[in-house]
Amino acid sequence: MDVFEAIKTRLEVRDYSSEPVPKEVLKEVLEAGRLSPSGLNTQHWRFIVVEDRRDLQELADISTSGKWVAGAAFAVVILTNPKYPWHLIDAGRVVTHMQLAAWNRNLGSCIYTGYDEKAMRQKLNIPENYHIACVAGFGYPRRRIIGRKRRLPLESIAFSGRMTQPLT
């Protein structure tokens, strides 16, 4: 799939079919994360893959804004090292790459950031020196994705030279 086409068409998917995801596709999603750029090429991120149904349900139970992860084929918990001031930018790039690579393989995905942090650390053995940036859930969409991105028009978010100057 053309990269811009993927950017244009991808919507967040929170409702997944029970179709299993081939290992090779899962690995490709992780590989897209591994290949992401990071500040000073520090590559401080770490990924925890959760595939077991009971573990996915537990992730859902301790989440506040990602209950849908219970139905995902797998989830990836993305950790970063907060000693780097840019660590969350790096996390954003990782997750974007993963989600676009997934979309290219017809795999839907979404991320969530609301969870009981203490419970998550305990459950996944995450040490204090790692920040939990987000959890991404992946799976084949249960139904055909029809929808439209609701985004602000370019003229209201991009400017020319100065913020007082509209983009022409």
Ligand X SMILES: Cc1cc2nc3c(=O)[nH]c(=O)nc-3n(C[C@H](O)[C@H](O)[C@H](O)COP(=O)(O)O)c2cc1C
Name the residue nearer to ligand X (CB basis): 14 or 44: 14
Confirm if 14 and 21 have CB atoms less than 8 A apart.
no
Torsion angle in degrees (nearest 10) through CA of 5, 11, 16, 17: -40
Total site size for ligand X, rule CB under 6 A: 12
Distance CA 100, CA 18 (A): 21
Can you name the residues that pair with 131 across neighbouring β-strands?
A: 80
Verify binding: residue 15, ligand X, rule CB under 6 A.
no
Q: Which of 32, 72, 111, 132 binds ligand X (CB under 6 A)?
A: 111
Verify binding: residue 75, ligand X, rule CB under 6 A.
no
Verify binding: residue 110, ligand X, rule CB under 6 A.
yes
Which residues 121-160 are close enough to bind ligand X by CB under 6 A?
149-150
- Which range touches ligand X (CB under 6 A), out of 10-18, 38-46, 71-79, 98-106? 10-18
Rounded to the nearest whole angstrom, what is the least distance from the CB of residue 16 to ligand X in the complex?
13
Verify binding: residue 117, ligand X, rule CB under 6 A.
no
Verify binding: residue 9, ligand X, rule CB under 6 A.
no
Identify residue 107 by its one-letter amino acid code.
L
Confirm if 132 and 115 have CB atoms less than 8 A apart.
yes
Can you name the residues that pair with 46 across neighbouring β-strands?
A: 79
Give, as one character, the DSSP assignment of residue 19.
P
Name the residue nearer to ligand X (CB basis): 157 or 163: 157
Structure tokens at 161: 């030279």
Binding site for ligand X (CB under 6 A): 11-12, 14, 65-66, 110-114, 149-150
